């Protein structure tokens, strides 16, 4: 068994407990969501802390450069802004533990899957008044669809700093060596489908002795990342209003059967216990977010293309991450003011080097190319600019922490060669129905 994978169920259980504890604490807190206002000058400059999950030195250096400029411009408000990296796998657990323990950061990144929980819990303050009232912020430039997951009523409870489309990265060296077609050519002639991707992956894996198609960060634990595949079948785990299980809908049964067969029959995707890193040359293709392009080191030739089409056509999928200001933080008004600075038009343009912004004015291939030298304008147009249009997000729910662990546990029965896919999905619906009704 892959030891990294083996540790994850315990982390998921801890995250479930931590988020549940947070909701209970905020429910007892009374006032719920606050509204950030203009910061009053404190008795002495304050220190701000933001939690993030990136450890990328270039990204952290950019953040610090923006923060240092804010400190220089606002010496009466702040003396420092620091960025605390929490590992991706443990992020929500650690963050909510800090909140429950009275050690809330001033600002934090938040996964899209947990957005409804955090927004409804009262843990975050409404930053819309500060962003709207900041001179030169251009709030109307923010794409309304990008704000939807982070909004409640007229309030905005986190800024969606990253709107990263999922795409297919391709090791063209491996495909060429195996005599397989280039996916870019299939995109051009309209035949780029999941079936084609499966066949190419299986044949390339057989030729190279490596893996074929990897859904990055799935690892048979984080099932929600399979939305990048099942969306091509117009499948979803629950209804749009989050009250009904749809794992048993024909579209989902067909999609999960396709995934199961691609793993166990076609050997196009790695099985349980196998770890393969596309960016280290371990696989022919991977589905992941476009922001992962920074991991490419030039050791092999590659391309990036849009997600393939499924039986219901091509569906764009994005992952979002928001920056929220915590009501329990020591300085929410100052933190909201910093957020307005951190995400203003000039700084959003800088951040676009790694995180596709929610600003319509910056969503052009020319603008993004200046910040993403590894990608061509054609790639950025097809994968980022067009990939954000009419996109769906990964699954999110107000009770996601409990749902995530329950679904993961039920789907364990699917990851065997002789699994009854439809039966497993039926058991999954039975297990999560009470959670959807909460």
Last residue of a domain, one of 386, 405, 425: 386
Asked if 162 and 321 touch (Cβ cutoff 8 Å), the reply is yes
Average pLDDT over every residue of 130-134: 97
Residues 424 and 379 in one domain: no
Residues 35 and 151 in one domain: yes
Tokens for 378? 């054609």
Mean pLDDT of the chain: 90
Structural domains counted in the chain:
2
Residues 334 and 412 in one domain: no
Positive/negative CA dihedral, 371, 376, 381, 384: negative
Q: Is the pTM of this model over 0.85?
A: no
Residues 108 and 183 in one domain: no
Domain boundaries, position 233: 169-317+395-437
Average pLDDT over every residue of 221-241: 96
Residues 308 and 199 in one domain: yes
Residue 289 has pLDDT above 60, yes or no: yes
User: Over the stretch 317-354, which tens digit does the pLDDT of each residue have?
Assistant: 988 999 999 999 999 999 999 999 999 999 999 998 88
Beta bridge partners of residue 214, listed in sequence order: 286
Cβ neighbours of residue 348 closer than 8 Å, sequence gap 6 or more: 161, 357, 359, 362
Q: Higher model confidence: residue 5 or residue 252?
A: 252
Residues 274 and 404 in one domain: yes
- How much of the chain exceeds pLDDT 70, in percent? 91
What pLDDT does residue 22 have?
Answer: 54
Residue 21 has pLDDT above 70, yes or no: no
| CA atoms of 305 and 194, how far apart (whole Å) | 13
Let me know if 317 is exposed, middle or buried by CB neighbors in 10 A (0-12, 13-18, 19+): buried
Residues 356 and 274 in one domain: no
Residue 109 is part of a domain; what is its CATH number? 3.40.190.10
Residues 308 and 429 in one domain: yes
What pLDDT does residue 41 have?
Answer: 79
Residues 101 and 117 in one domain: yes
Residues 175 and 221 in one domain: yes
User: Over the stretch 179-216, which tens digit does the pLDDT of each residue have?
Assistant: 999 999 999 999 999 999 999 999 999 999 999 999 99
Strands 159-171, 302-305: pairing kind: antiparallel
| CA atoms of 417 and 395, how far apart (whole Å) | 26
Residues 366 and 400 in one domain: no
Torsional class of 190: left (φ above 0), alpha (ψ -120 to 50), beta (otherwise): left
Last residue of a domain, one of 364, 386, 408: 386
Angle at CA 128, nearest 5°, toward 125 and 130?
Answer: 90
Helix, strand, coil shares of the chain as percentages rounded to 5?
Answer: 50, 15, 35
User: Over the stretch 378-412, which tens digit does the pLDDT of each residue have?
Assistant: 888 888 888 887 888 899 998 998 999 999 999 99
Residues 325 and 433 in one domain: no
What number of CA atoms fall less than 13 Å from residue 85's CA on the CB side?
11
């Amino acid at each position: 068994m892959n030891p990294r994978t083996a540790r994850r169920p315990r982390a998921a259980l801890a995250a479930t407990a931590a988020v549940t504890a947070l909701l209970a604490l905020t429910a007892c807190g009374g006032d719920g969501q606050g509204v950030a206002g203009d910061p009053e000058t404190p008795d002495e400059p304050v220190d701000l802390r933001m939690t993030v999950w990136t450890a990328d030195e270039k990204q952290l250096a950019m953040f610090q450069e923006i923060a240092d400029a804010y400190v220089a411009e606002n010496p009466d408000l702040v003396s420092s802004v620091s960025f605390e990296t929490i590992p991706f796998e443990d992020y929500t657990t650690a963050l909510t533990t800090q909140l429950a323990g009275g050690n809330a950061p001033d600002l934090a990144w938040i996964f899209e899957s947990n957005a409804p929980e955090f927004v409804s819990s009262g843990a975050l303050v409404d930053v819309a008044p500060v962003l709207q009232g900041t001179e030169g912020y251009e709030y109307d430039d923010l794409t309304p669809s990008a704000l939807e997951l982070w909004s409640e009523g007229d309030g905005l409870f986190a800024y969606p700093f990253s709107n990263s489309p999922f795409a297919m990265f391709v090791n063209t060296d491996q495909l060429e060596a195996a005599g397989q077609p280039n996916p870019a050519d299939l995109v051009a002639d309209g035949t780029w489908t999941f079936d084609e991707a499966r066949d190419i992956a299986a044949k390339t894996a057989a030729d190279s002795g490596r893996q074929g198609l990897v859904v990055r960060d799935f690892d048979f634990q984080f099932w929600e990342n399979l939305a990048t595949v099942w969306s091509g079948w117009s499948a979803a785990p629950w209804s749009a209003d989050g009250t009904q299980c749809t794992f048993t809908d024909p579209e989902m049964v067909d999609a999960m059967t396709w995934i199961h067969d691609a793993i166990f029959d076609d050997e196009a995707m790695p099985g349980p216990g196998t770890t393969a890193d596309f960016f280290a040359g371990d696989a022919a293709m991977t589905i992941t977010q476009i922001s992962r392009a920074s991991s490419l080191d030039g050791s092999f030739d590659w391309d990036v293309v849009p997600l393939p089409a499924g039986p219901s056509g091509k569906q764009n999928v994005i992952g979002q991450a928001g920056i929220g200001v915590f009501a329990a933080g020591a300085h929410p008004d100052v933190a909201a003011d910093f957020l307005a600075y951190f995400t203003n038009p000039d700084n959003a343009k800088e951040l676009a080097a790694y995180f596709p912004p929610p600003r319509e004015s910056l969503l052009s291939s020319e603008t993004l190319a200046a910040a993403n030298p590894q990608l061509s304008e054609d790639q950025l147009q097809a994968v980022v600019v067009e990939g954000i249009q009419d996109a769906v997000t990964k699954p999110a729910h107000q009770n996601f922490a409990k749902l995530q662990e329950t679904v993961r546990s039920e789907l364990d029965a699917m990851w065997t060669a002789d699994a009854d896919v439809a039966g497993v999905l039926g058991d999954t619906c039975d297990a999560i129905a009470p959670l959807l009704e909460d």
